[in-house]
């Protein structure tokens, strides 16, 4: 990969906006080279525009180590706006990596006093991501209904487009959890057809794969393998880990395709044993699980044919998460056993 750019082609990077930089680089380089060059320029740039929007670029492309470096650089700036942008992206990054305990994320968001519309919108995203990280999907709907209001004062083309992708991602997750499968898949394919960002494509394939949980093993596992292929090709280790250790074992066990599938995730180990007919082994594994999720309660309820546990699982999905999609797991089992 040739990372060199002729000085005649771009005489001064700092005179360009992010969208201008992208457009000019695409004239001479393939998309992967462009991605790596922008990744490099985001950190090296001196211009306020590139250093601010560079944080958005790095966040959305999953370059979180680079983002941390740029945040540390920007937070040392004498420009109050630059420092505040860095603080907001630090909040987003902390939420992404689960660094906050209990109400710390909310307190961090509320501590930022700004009138910049871009930051106000990012802070709203931060609050939604905090809820999403806790598997609480109710607030997604409230944000989606207010999206146009948040975006109305943002006139920067690059940020408009990037925030639009964030919005579609959240809408995809919201409609999936609301069990609006057709709408969710339409949004997923919209992203797959319009976006070239591997990190977004990876996430979209995961969501699309999950959307086939109650329909087709082959379509579900196809999208998970597509996501895994991207994770390996572009070196996203945490996403690779969750696909291999959770999503693929979950779908394999759910569809009774558990042979030769292994995982270190205890809950999904139990699910695989249950799919193989080893109920006692599944029960033994789940007994040692420290904190039960709606999924583990569903697996245990299924293994024990325990109506109470299945109802608890269903209620947790619906009342705690507002998740009407995966609530179908215990509901279908209740119907199978008792109706």
What angle separates helix 48-60 from helix 31-44, to the nearest 10 degrees?
Answer: 130
Q: What is the pLDDT of residue 101?
A: 81
C-beta separation of 236 from 199 below 8 A: yes
Centre a 10 Å sphere on the Cβ of residue 59 and count the other Cβ atoms it contains: 22
CB 104 within 8 A of CB 89: no
Write the pLDDT tens digit of every residue in 75-94: 999 999 999 999 999 999 99
Average pLDDT of span 150-166:
90
- What is the per-residue pLDDT for 133? 80
Structural domain boundaries in the chain: 265-339
pLDDT of residue 65: 94
Q: Please, what is the average pLDDT of the chain? A: 90
More confidently predicted of 204 and 20: 204
Q: How far is CA 6 from CA 17, 26, 28, 44, in A?
A: 18, 13, 10, 17
Q: Which residue has the tokens 């093993």?
A: 217
Rounded distance, CA 121 to CA 116, Å?
9
Query: pLDDT band at 338, cuts 50/70/90?
Result: confident
Burial-class residue 129 by CB neighbours within 10 Å (0-12, 13-18, 19+): middle
pLDDT at 210 exceeding the cut of 80: yes
- pLDDT score of 151: 82
What is the reported pLDDT for 182?
97
CA angle 57, 232, 171 (to 5 degrees): 50
pLDDT 10s digits, 232-257: 999 999 999 999 999 999 999 999 99
């Amino acid at each position: 990969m040739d990372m060199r750019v002729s000085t005649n082609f771009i005489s001064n990077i700092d005179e360009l906006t992010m969208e201008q930089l992208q457009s000019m680089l695409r004239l001479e380089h393939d998309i992967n080279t462009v991605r790596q060059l922008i990744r490099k320029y985001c950190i090296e740039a001196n211009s306020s525009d590139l250093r601010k929007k560079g944080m958005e670029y790095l966040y959305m492309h999953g370059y979180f180590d680079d983002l941390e470096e740029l945040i540390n650089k920007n937070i040392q700036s004498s420009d109050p706006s630059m420092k505040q942008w860095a603080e907001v992206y630090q909040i987003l990054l902390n939420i992404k990596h689960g660094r906050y305990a209990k109400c710390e994320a909310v307190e961090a968001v509320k501590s930022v006093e700004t009138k910049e519309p871009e930051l106000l919108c990012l802070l709203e995203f931060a609050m939604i991501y905090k809820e999403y990280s806790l598997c609480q999907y109710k607030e997604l709907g409230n944000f989606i209904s207010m999206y146009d209001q948040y975006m109305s004062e943002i006139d920067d083309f690059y940020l408009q487009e990037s925030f639009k992708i964030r919005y579609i991602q959240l809408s995809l997750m919201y409609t999936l959890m609301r069990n609006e499968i057709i709408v969710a898949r339409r949004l997923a394919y919209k992203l797959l057809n319009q976006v070239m960002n591997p990190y977004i494509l990876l996430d979209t394939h995961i969501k699309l794969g999950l959307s086939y949980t109650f329909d087709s093993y082959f379509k579900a596992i196809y999208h998970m393998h597509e996501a895994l292929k991207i994770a390996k090709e572009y070196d996203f280790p945490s996403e690779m880990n969750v696909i291999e250790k959770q999503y693929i074992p979950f779908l394999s066990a759910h569809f009774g395709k558990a042979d030769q599938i292994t995982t270190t995730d205890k809950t999904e180990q139990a699910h695989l044993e249950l799919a193989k007919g080893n109920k006692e082994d599944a029960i033994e594994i789940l007994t040692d699980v420290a904190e039960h999720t709606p999924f583990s309660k569903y697996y245990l309820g299924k293994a024990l044919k325990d109506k109470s546990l299945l109802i608890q699982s269903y209620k947790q999905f619906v009342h705690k998460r507002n998740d009407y999609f995966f609530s179908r797991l215990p509901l279908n089992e209740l119907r199978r056993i008792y109706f």
